[in-house]
Amino acid sequence: MFLGKTIDDELYEELEELLIQSDIGMDMTMEIVADLEKQVAKKRLKASQDVYEELKELLKSKLVYNTEENTKLDIQNGRLNIILVVGVNGVGKTTSIGKIAKKLKDEGKKVIIGAGDTFRAAAIEQIEEWGKRTGVEVVKQSHGSDPAAVVFDTVKMAKNRNFDVAILDTAGRLHNKRDLMKELEKINKIIKEKSGNDKFETLLVIDSTTGQNGLEQAKIFNEIVDLTGIILTKFDGTAKGGIIFPITNELKKPIKFIGVGEGIEDLRKFDSKEFVEAIFSD
């Protein structure tokens, strides 16, 4: 699409527009385009195709935390591994948990899910449905009960029965940061005490259709919990998910999964190259 164009302000504006439309955000777009202009001058690039390739390289350089090693889930043999899943309401936490449970089960792991969203009325049935679909046991309490108590039960049961992985769902109530903080602090404390693991996965789910608000969510959750990675959902629609660039840069945390649909198999590993290519596809 950028073949045979003159390298002028118009081209840079076109590229700028493309990045902004991909949700990369104004700040990072400006930074990238400024870097691009510098590189083009330094390397004396003359063909628009080369400028475009340089832009791809710059975008990839913004995803440096997403190495093969970093984007892997930290699952170790011979211990209980915990995956705590956080994020605002509706981003795809429960769905992603279902998909991850299926993936780990297929890998031969003994998996259990804790229905930690006790706030939303239908949340428990929803996670139970995923439990049935994946053949994974779900630990629950009644609607409105203390999520920390569900976490307590889940981790205890997982320990006693030698499960490999416990995945914990949460409610994403962001309207009151103090409450959310207290709730997640309590959950964190219980996980550490009960599992005997100080380090565990805490994954933040970000909806790619949320746009710039995703960065705000990421900053808030990153203050509250010790995030280990990000799951980007709803990447199957028209959203380019460019918000990942500022998020992964700001947080310095890798993207562990990409959600590409509502189905059980619709979970992909993050691949920087593919991700950058998708920015330029229509």
Binding footprint of ligand GDP on the chain (CB under 6 A):
87, 89-95, 172, 205, 233-234, 236, 259-262, 266
Distance from C-alpha of 6 to C-alpha of 195, rounded to nearest angstrom: 60
Q: Which residue is nearest to ligand GDP (CB)?
A: 259
Tokens of 35: 């870097």
Tell which residue, 275, 278, 282, 271, has the closest CA to residue 66.
271
- In the chain, the N- to C-terminal Cα span, in Å, equals 10
Residue 196 interface partner, choices ligand GDP, Mg ion, none, CB cut-off 5-8 Å depending on type: none
Nearer to Mg ion, 115 or 218 (CB): 115
Three-class SS state of 36? helix
Nearer to ligand GDP, 32 or 267 (CB): 267
| Residue 202 binds Mg ion (CB under 5 A) | no
Q: Which residue has the tokens 């998708």?
A: 278
**Least distance in angstroms from the C-beta of 32 to ligand GDP:** 26
- Choose from ligand GDP, Mg ion, none: what does 260 bind? Cβ within 5-8 Å by kind: ligand GDP
- Is 94 a binding residue for Mg ion by CB under 5 A? The answer is yes
Choose between 55 and 205: whose C-beta lies nearer to Mg ion: 205
Q: Please list every residue from 113 through 172 that binds Mg ion, using CB under 5 A.
A: 117
Q: Which two tokens stand for residue 245?
A: 């660039």
Nearer to ligand GDP, 35 or 236 (CB): 236
Comparing every residue's Cβ against Mg ion, the nearest one is 94
Q: Pick one of ligand GDP, Mg ion, none as the site partner of residue 233 (Cβ within 5 to 8 A by kind).
A: ligand GDP
Give the Cα-Cα-Cα angle 140, 144, 146 (nearest 5 degrees): 70
Q: CB of 170: closest distance to ligand GDP in angstroms?
A: 9
Least Cβ distance, residue 233 to ligand GDP (angstroms):
4
Taking CB under 5 A as the rule, does residue 195 contact Mg ion? no
Of residues 51 and 86, the one with the C-beta less far from Mg ion: 86
Number of residues that make up the chain? 282
d(CA 75, CA 241): 27
DSSP E strands, the chain: 81-86, 111-114, 137-139, 165-168, 201-207, 229-233, 255-259, 267-268
Examine residue 228 and tell whether it contacts Mg ion (CB under 5 A): no
Query: In the complex, what is the shortest distance from the CB of residue 234 to ligand GDP, in angstroms, rounded to a whole number?
Result: 4
- CA dist 38 and 94 (Å) reads 44
CA quadruple 161, 167, 173, 178: dihedral sign: positive
Residue 96 touches Mg ion, criterion: CB under 5 A: no
Q: At what angle do helices 244-251 and 213-224 cross, to 10 degrees?
A: 20
The count of chain residues that interact with Mg ion, using the rule CB under 5 A, is 3
| Footprint of Mg ion (CB under 5 A) | 93-94, 117
